[in-house]
Every structure is written in structure tokens, then in C-alpha cells.
Amino acid sequence: MKNIRRIAVLMATAFVDMIGFAIVFPLLPFYAERMDAAPWMIGWMIAVFSIMQLTFAPLWGRFSDRYGRRPALLLGLFISASAFLIFAFANTIWMLFLTRMVQGIGGATVGVAQAYVGDTSEPRDRARALGWLSAATSAGVMIGPALGSLTYGLGPAAPGLVAAGLCLTNVLFAWKWLPESHSDRQAFNQVGGVKRRSIRGLALDIVLKPKGETARLIWIYAVGMLGFMSMTAVLPLYLGDQFGISEESIGWFFVFIGFLSIVMRAIVLGPLVDRIGETRVMRLGAAFLALGLFSIPLPGDVVVAAVAMGLVPIGTAMLFPSVSALISHRVSKFELGQTLGVQQAFGGVSRVVAPIWSTAAYQGFGISHPFFIAAGVVAFVSFLTFGVKHAPVPEKEVAEQTS
């Protein structure tokens, strides 16, 4: 694979960034409950991150197409560090809301990172490289919660301070070692060079023409994310109510999930794509994810429940990187950052809706219902995947889509 060094540096940057995020996220419901927040307020607290993310993701993508991926990633890291500092000293519910808002702005550069991979990898290697990138973030998800639980023993402010320190160190690392990948950004800015759709125009095309190749893939991503985030929002509450899991032990469940995700994305995904193709891998991912969501609340034993949870990272590892890779094959390089940013915005809508409805259903209907409903949503994704063509759209058609 060409430019593997650049991708390795990006992976290291994403890894450290996700450690900071994962340190504080599993602790958030416990901090909020200590401040007498109701479950529905926790849902909105989780959702506000995604509201900011869906708002800023297309803007970050457009910014990176015009000015470069590197400046966007560096600025996003610095904003995330500021959010962690706010979390460290939060003593009211509204400060927790504020830290989630700032985190959402800084964390809306996922599409930029994916575009960086698109810039630096060959089409045949793109799913593999995106899998490596998501494996790095999964490693952060695995380590971060455990580190958060350990540092919590030093005081409530310690997890936020550690996360902020890691993020600021990451800014310096990326400043020195992460080169620019978008060599064609000067062509982007040439007057009359390439006709590009606006963010609004691209989003409207996805809504009004959902059967288009790119639109269908973005809808698959968004609906799959709705199911996955519905589970994520209530999982700490479910484990606490059903099995007595607390702040000191919640992190180890995320270690387990993160480990499986790393193995799938870093080791299994690439050879699997080489063997059966991105489209079939995407379909398998949707099926595994639906099965995992449905199975979590069935057993009454925590060990058996953990095994059921393992199906979720297996499914997401196959579903989401494959979708992003398939999108990257179907759009112009001059719209890659913007399109992946819009994908993240649609996923952000799911991240907003998911915790709101799932925490309300958890409180109103019972602790098992959110998982069963989420499984049904992802089963619908499995249906959508059969409308995706195996082969990428020809280059001529891609050019027509961007003219």
C-alpha cells in the first residue's frame, strides 16, 4: 500500500484523540446522575454532541477540500482539548451540556480523516485503510474507558484533565508529523476549474433522490448508526440496573468491545474484503449488528450478555468502513471531504435521535425494549444493502454527478 507512513501517523493521531474522548464518555451518565439528572436529560446530553457534529461535519469537510485536511484536523483536536478541560471542572448539568457541545464541534472531523485516507490510498486498498483507521479509534475506545475508571480514583476532575493533556500532546504530535494529503486543493480553488455542489445541494440530493448510489450508501450509514447509537446510549444504564455495574467497572466492558473491534478492523476486514468484496462485507456487517442488538437483553447472566455484546463490534467493523469505502469510489476527489462530511452529518442526525428515543423508551417501556427496537432498525439496513451495486460507478458517471 502506498503512503502507509501517512496513514500510520493519522492512525496514531486518531488513536490518542479517541482515548481522550473515551475517557470521559462512559463516565458522563454517572456524573449526570450524581447531579440529579433524569434519564431523559442524559439522553439529550448525549444527543447534543451529535447535534453539533451534524452541523459542523459538512463545514469541516468543505473547509478541508478548500484549505487542506491538516489544518482541519489540528483545529478539531485543539477544540476537543478545550472540551475536556470544561468537563474536568463541570459542577452543574449545564456545564456537562457545554462540554458535550464543544466536543461535538471538535469531534466533527471524522469525515476529514476519512477523506485523508481517500487521498492517500489506492481504491482497492481503501476499505482496508479505513478499517485500520477505525481500528485505531477502536483501540482508543478500548483503552480510554479503563483509563477513565482508573483516573477517577484520583478525583472527579482527573479524567477530564488527563483527556485534555493527551489531546494537547496530540496537537503537537500531529503538527510535527502529519503532512498535508490533499494535493489538489489548489485546483479546488481555481475559478472555473471544477463545478461543485453546495453542501445544501448535496444534502437535498440525498433526501430527494435516495435511490442514487451515493445517497443509498449514506442512508445505510445513517440508519445503521441509529441502531448502534440507540444501544450505546442505554448500555451503561442497562448494565448498572441489571448487573450492578458501576463507574469503577464499566470501563472493562468497553475494553472487551474495543478489543474485538480492533481484531476485526485491523486483521479480519482487509482479507475479508479481498475475498468477497466490500458490498458483501457490508451486508454481513448489518446482519451481525442486528443479531447482536437483539441478543444483548436476552440472557440473565453478565458473561453471556458480554458474549452477545461481542456481535456488535463484529458487525460495525464490517458495516461502517465498507460503506465509507464504497462512497469514496463514487464521488469526485474535489467533493470527497464534503461528501464524507455530509455522511457524518446524516449519521449525526441518527446520533441525536438515538439517545433521545432510547433513553425515553428505557424509562417508559422497560430496559429491554431499546435493544429490540434497535435490532429492528438495523434489520431494515440489511434490506437496503441489497440495492447497492457490486462494482463502483464508472468514472464518467462520477464526473456527471459532479457537473
List the CATH number of the domain containing 123: 1.20.1250.20
Read off the C-alpha cell for 318. 464490517
* Domain contains 192: no
* Domain contains 182: no
DSSP string for 71-91: HHHHHHHHHHHHHHHHHHT--
- Residue position matching grid coordinates 437483539: 294
Query: Could you give the CA distance from residue 15 to residue 140 in angstroms, rounded to a whole number?
Result: 5
Model pLDDT, residue 193? 47
End-to-end CA distance of the chain: 31
Who contacts 61 (Cβ-Cβ below 8 Å, separation ≥6)? 111, 112, 115, 337, 338, 339, 340, 341, 342, 344
- The H or E element containing residue 249 is helix 247-263
Model pLDDT, residue 247? 64
- Residue position matching grid coordinates 457537473: 403
Q: Which of 135, 147, 162 is nearest to 263 (CA)?
A: 135
Neighbours of 164 (CB within 10 A): 22
Model pLDDT, residue 395? 43
Query: What range defines the domain where residue 322 resides?
Result: 4-176+197-398
Query: 373 near 228, Cβ under 8 Å?
Result: no
Query: In the chain, which stretches have pLDDT less than 70?
Result: 1-3, 182-196, 247-248, 251, 390-403
Model pLDDT, residue 281? 93
Q: Which long-range contacts (CB under 8 A, 24 or more apart) does 195-201 make?
A: 195/402, 195/403, 196/334, 196/335, 196/338, 196/402, 197/335, 197/402, 199/58, 199/59, 199/62, 199/338, 199/341, 199/342
- Residue position matching grid coordinates 470544561: 86
Domain count across the chain: 1
Query: Could you give the CA distance from residue 102 to residue 115 in angstroms, rounded to a whole number?
Result: 22
Model pLDDT, residue 191? 41
- Residue position matching grid coordinates 486498498: 125
Vertex 108, ends 269 and 206: CA angle to 5°?
75
Model pLDDT, residue 400? 40
Model pLDDT, residue 312? 92
Residue 386: burial class (beta carbons within 10 Å; 0-12, 13-18, 19+): exposed
SS3 content of the chain, % helix, strand, coil (to 5): 80, 0, 20
